[in-house]
Chain A
Amino acid sequence: MRPQSSGSLSLRIPVMAMICALLVCATCLAQNPKVLAPHKPVAPRVPRHREWDKPAVSQAVTGGLWRTDGNFKSTVYLDNMLKEDSLTVTPVLHLANGVAYTLAPVTLEPSGTAAIDINQSLAKQGVAPYATLSGYVEVQYQWGWSAICGSVWNVDTTHSLIFVYSLRPAPVLSAPQDNQAANGNVQPQQTFEGMWWKEEPNVSGFVGLSNLTERPISASVQTLDAGNQPIASHSVTISPNGTKIVELTELLSTTASIGGVVVTWNGNLDELAVNSSLEDAAVGYSARMPLGVRPDASAKVSQHSYAELGLMTGPADPMMSFPSGVVFTPYSVLRNLSEQQVSVTPTIWWMQSGAPRSAQLPQLTLGAHQTTRLDMPALLTTAGLKNHQGSFNIVLDTVGPKGAVLLDAGSVDQSYTYVFGVVPRGVGESASKGMQYWSTANGDDTMVTLWNPADEAQDFVFTLFYTGGHYLYPIHLEARATHTFNVSEIIHSGIPDSEGNVIPAAIQSGSAEIAGLAGENQQILVALDSGIYNVRKATCGGVVCDNCNGFISIFLINNPFAVAVGRSTQEFAMAQWNTGTNYDYTNQSTWSSSNTGVATVNAGLFSGISPGQTGVAFTLLGVPPAATPCAPAGSPPPECPGPVDPNGGGTVNSTPRIDSISPTWGQVGKSVTVTISGSGFGTSPTIGLSGSGITVTYGSPRNDTSIAATFTIAPNASVGFQDVTVTNNTTGDGSTPTSSPVGFQVTPAVATPVNYHIVSESNLNDGSLFFTYTWSSSTGSQADLYQCTIGESVFYPNYPTGSYTWPLPMVQSSTNPTVLSGPGTYQSSTDTNKPPGGYSTPYSAKSFNATQRWWWSCSNYNNNATQTLAPDVTITRTTFKDTDGFWKYQITKLGYTNTVKLPNQ
C-alpha cells in the first residue's frame, strides 16, 4: 500500500535511486559517530530505611477504559513497583453513568502483580457479568509516592479482539478549580490529536472518554481525512465520573484510508481519560489508535530517535505456534502533531547469522499535521530484504519539535485477525526499566525484544518477578544486536539462575525488569518491547507503559545536622527511588556551604570552623527521575526521561565541642569540681544538664576551650546518668549552638562501678566487632566492688519472646534478651558482636536491630536493682547486595561498621 500523503516526496523516489542512496550497515556505521553505552559511576545502595520514606498520602491511578458484554472480558492488571514493601490497594469501578463500585482491597507483595476480573467483580455487586457496560477503573492506595501502575485488558476471544488501556496517576482536583467551573469561568481548552488508518475497508474506531472529575465535561471528537478535511464531528457531554464511547462509524464510509482525529475539551489535561482503538469485529482486527498532546509552539527543534522492535514479515515463526499459512506484513504509521515540518530517517536493523545488519533509508518529510504510512514492502525491498522472513526493527531518527511525532507500528496477517502491535518507544539512556506484566497462562506467552542501540556490547540482567521469588536471566547484547525470547522459554528451561533460583512450574505470571549488571540504578542504553500473545485466542496485547525506574526524592540523612568546631562530620546525599531503594550519591554530588566561616564542606564532609549556623546546598549529578510514560495517551511515543541534576538544601549548625569532662561522676550529697575541655565554647558558655538535682557554680576558667565548675549534687538526686552540654552564647549571628552531650554519672554513697568506657575496637575477619571496655570503682579501689555485678542485656526484636530467630538468610537464634554478667571487681571486659552462624540461600536483603544495655547492680544498694552503667546502643545487622554485585553481611554499632562478603559467591 502506498501512503496517501502528498507531502512525502521521498517515498516517491524510484526504487533504483533509493538503492543508490541506501547505506548498508558497515558503511553507515563507519560514517556516523559512535554511540557509546553509558559508562557512569553507580551510586552504592544502602539498606532500606523506612523512616526516610516520604509520608504516606492518598494516591490513585485511574482512567483505563473497561467494557463488558456477553463476549468482552475485562481484567485489571496491577504491578507494585516497590521491591521490599507490599502494598494494599482498593480498586473502584466507575460505570458509564457515574455509579462507582468499590471492590475488596487487594494486597500486592513486593514487585508483585494482581489481576482483577471486572466481570466477576461486577457479579459480586449484583450486576450480571455479561451486561453490556463500560466505564473506567480507579485504584486507590496510601503511599509516599506513585508506586502502582497498571492497565485494563478488554478481550473478546469470540471475535479475537483486544484493547489495552493504561492507568495513570489521578488528577489533583482542587476545590477552586471546580468552583471556577461552577461559576462559569472559562476552563483552558485541551486537545489530543491522533491518527487512524485502515488495514482493510471495514475498519472503524471508537474513542472512550472518561470524566475523572466531579463536574460535567463537554468534549468534541472530530475525524479528519488525509488532507485534514473534516469527515465528521461528535459532541458529547460526559457526566461526573462517567464515560462515553464515541463510535467513529464514519470511517466505514469514508473513501480515505488514513487520517487524523482530534479530541478537545475544556478543563485540565489530566481530567479526561481518552482511550481509543481501531476495530473490525467481523475479521477479528483490533489495534491501537494513538493520541498525543500537540507540542507547544515554542518547543525547540531537536533530534529524537524512536525504535519499533520486533516487526515481522513473511510466514510466522514456527516457534510461535501460529496456524500454518499465517503470513505477516509489517506496518508503521506516523503523524506530525506540530505546525512545523518534521524530517524522518528510517533505518532497518535485523539479525543475520547472529550479527546485526542495517540499512538506512532515504529521509522523508512530514508536513504539519500530516499522517503517513511507510510503504513497508517497498522499504524492505529497498533494503534488500524483499524475501526476508522473520523479525526486524525500524529506528526512526527525527528532527522536529519534541513530542511532534505520533507513531504506531506492528505486524498483521493476511486475514487481519492476528495483529501483533508494537509500541514505538524513544531510544535513550535510562536506568532500569520495569515491565508491568508477563503471562504464560491459558495459552498466553510473552515475547520480549531487546535491541542494543550502542556501538559497543552491553550486559544486562532481565529479572522475572513472580509470587514468592524472582529469577535472573543474563543477557549479553553485542553492538546493535537484537535478542528476542519468550518468557516461557526461561520458565521451561529449569536452569538455576546465578542465585540458584528456579521458577516453579506453577508460576504463570508476574512482572519483569531490565537492568545493568551493577543494579537498577546503573545507566543503560537499551530499547525494549514486549507483547503478550495468545495464538489460540488470536490476540496480542502490548505492554503500553514503561516503568522507568528513577528517583522520587533527594534528601540529606540528617537535616539540620551539627558539626563540632574543629571536628568533621560526614553528611550523605541520598536519593530514594520509586522502587523504595535508597542510594548514596554523596560522591556524585556537588556541595557548598553558604558561610564557610562557620563550616566548610568537601564531598559531604563538613568541618566546623566556628560556632554558628550555615546553609548547605547539594546537587546530585546525573540521576534519572522516575516516570511511567504511556502509549497511547500523553506525549508520544513513551520514552524514559534522561538523567537530571536535582538539587537540595539543608542547614548545618557548627557547635561547641566537648572533648572531655573530668571527673565523669559524682556522689549524691557531695560537691565535685568538674573541668570541661573542648572548643567553640565562646566567651560566656553555659553548662546544661538533662536532669535535676545538680547545681552548677561557674569558676575559672570559663572561656572558649575550658570551663571549670562545681557540681553540687543534692542528696536526693537520681542515681544514673545526666547529659552535660555546653552552649555558646556569643556566636555573633544570634544563634546559640549547643554541643553534643557527654554523660555525667551520679552515684550513690556506696562503692559503685563508674567510668565505663571503650578502650579499643577492632574488626574481625569473620565480620565481628570486637570491643574492650574498662571501668573503675567510685571509691578508687576495685576491691570495693565485691558486692557488685557488671552485666549486659541485649534485647532483640519482639522482646520478650524467649528466643529470637534472625531473619533469613541469617541463620541464627538468640536468647531474647541475652543476659551476661560478671563480678564488678574485674577491671575489664570484652564484647564481641558476632555474625550469624550461617547463611541460607537464596540471599536476600534483610535487616534487624538489637538494643544493648549495660548495667550494674550491688547487693548493698537498692536491693541489688540494676542501674544504668552506660547509655543504650543499637546494634544493626544487615544483609544486602552491594554495588559490586556481591551479597554482604554488615554490622554497625556506635559508629563502628564491619562488612564481609557472604560465602559461595
Chain B
Amino acid sequence: MKRIAKFSPVVLLMGVLFVVSPRAEQDNDRTSCSLIEQALKDYQQIKTAGKRHDIAKYFEPDGGLQFPARTRYVYPKCDYLHVDVEFELAKPTEIASGPDDRVISVSKLYVEYPAKD
C-alpha cells in the first residue's frame, strides 16, 4: 500500500502538538497529550489474532478507498491518528469484509489527514 508518511509514536506526539485544527478544538477539550496517551492505550488493545469487531470498539474505518483485507482506521476522538490493519478474511469468496475477519498485522500509530475522498 502506498503511504505518504508514517511516524513513530514519539514523532506522532510532536506532530499532534503542532497540528491544531478547528475539529480538534471542537471534539477534544483536553490537552493533546492526554488524548494521545488515551489513543496509545486504545491502540494497544488491538491484538494480532483479534477480530475486526474488536477494533471497532476503539477505532473507526477511514474514508476513501479501502480493501477488505487491508483497512485503514482513524481514532474517533482525533481522526488525524491512523492505524492500518491487515486481516485474514473469514469468508474470502465474498467481496465484503466481515466482523469475524482475523487480525494478522497492525501498523504503528501514525499521523495523517483523514481520507474523505
Contact = CB atoms under 8 A, between A and B. Distances in A.
Interface of A: 759, 768, 772, 774, 789, 791-792, 794, 803, 811-815, 818-823, 826-838, 840, 850, 852, 875
Given A813-B21, A833-B116, 11 more contacts: A759-B95, A772-B95, A792-B117, A811-B21, A830-B66, A831-B117, A834-B63, A836-B116, A838-B22, A840-B22, A850-B117
A822 B21 contact: no
Contacts of A772: 95-96
A759 B96 CA distance: 11
B27 interface: yes
Nearest to A812: B116
Between A774, A803, A831, the greatest number of chain B beta carbons within 10 A of the residue's beta carbon is seen for: A831
Given A838-B22, A838-B27, A815 B4 contact: yes
B68 A826 contact: yes
Nearest to A796: B116
Contact of B79 (A791, A815, A828, A837): A837
A827 B27 contact: no
A818 B79 CA distance: 15
Nearest 9 CB-CB pairs, A to B? A828-B95, A834-B63, A837-B23, A822-B67, A820-B65, A832-B63, A811-B22, A834-B116, A833-B117
Contact of B63 (A811, A813, A827, A833): A833
7 contacts: A794-B117, A820-B1, A820-B64, A828-B67, A834-B116, A836-B23, A838-B26
B22 A821 contact: no
B113 interface: yes
Between B4, B22, B72, the greatest number of chain A beta carbons within 10 A of the residue's beta carbon is seen for: B22
B1 A818 contact: no
A828 B96 contact: yes
A836 B116 CA distance: 7
A759 to B, nearest CB: 7
Contacts of A813: 21, 113
Contacts of B14: none
Nearest to B96: A772
Interface of B: 1-2, 4, 21-23, 26-27, 61, 63-70, 72, 79, 95-97, 112-117
A828 B68 contact: yes
A869 to B, nearest CB: 11
A887 B36 CA distance: 34
A831 B79 contact: no
A821 B23 contact: no
Nearest to B21: A813
Q: What DSSP secondary structure best describes chain A's contact surface? A: strand
B68 A794 contact: no
A832 B1 contact: no
A792 B64 contact: yes
B95 A827 contact: yes
Contacts of B27: 837-838
A826 B64 contact: no
A903 to B, nearest CB: 10
A361 B84 CA distance: 83
B23 A811 contact: yes
Contacts of A811: 21-23, 26
Contacts, number: 106
Given A815-B4, A819-B4, A821-B1, A832 B66 contact: yes
Contacts of B63: 768, 832-834
A836 B21 CA distance: 12
B70 A822 contact: yes
A818 B23 CA distance: 19
A837 B61 CA distance: 14
Contacts of A836: 23, 116
B110 to A, nearest CB: 13
A183 to B, nearest CB: 68
Contact of B114 (A774, A837, A875): A837
B113 A803 contact: yes
A821 B2 contact: yes
A789 B112 CA distance: 22
A840 B26 CA distance: 10
A815 B65 contact: no
A818 B115 contact: yes
Contact of B112 (A812, A815, A834, A875): A815
A834 B21 contact: no
A728 to B, nearest CB: 37
Contacts of B23: 811-812, 836-838
A347 to B, nearest CB: 56
Contacts of B22: 811, 838, 840
A852 B22 CA distance: 26
Given A768-B63, A792-B65, A831-B65, A818 B70 contact: no
Contact of A818 (B61, B64, B95): B64
B64 A831 contact: yes
Nearest to A852: B117
Given A811-B21, A815-B112, A831 B68 contact: no
Given A772-B95, A792-B64, A813-B21, A834 B2 contact: no
A896 to B, nearest CB: 13
A828 B97 CA distance: 10
A815 to B, nearest CB: 5
Contacts of B26: 811, 838
Nearest to A825: B69
Contacts of A818: 64, 113, 115-117
Contact of A774 (B4, B61, B95): B95
A762 to B, nearest CB: 12
Contact of A829 (B21, B67, B112): B67
A852 B65 CA distance: 11
Contacts of A826: 67-70
Contacts of A829: 65-68
A509 B65 CA distance: 50
Contacts of B65: 791-792, 820-822, 829-831
Between B67, B95, B116, the greatest number of chain A beta carbons within 10 A of the residue's beta carbon is seen for: B116
B66 A831 contact: yes
Contacts of A834: 63, 114, 116-117
A785 to B, nearest CB: 13
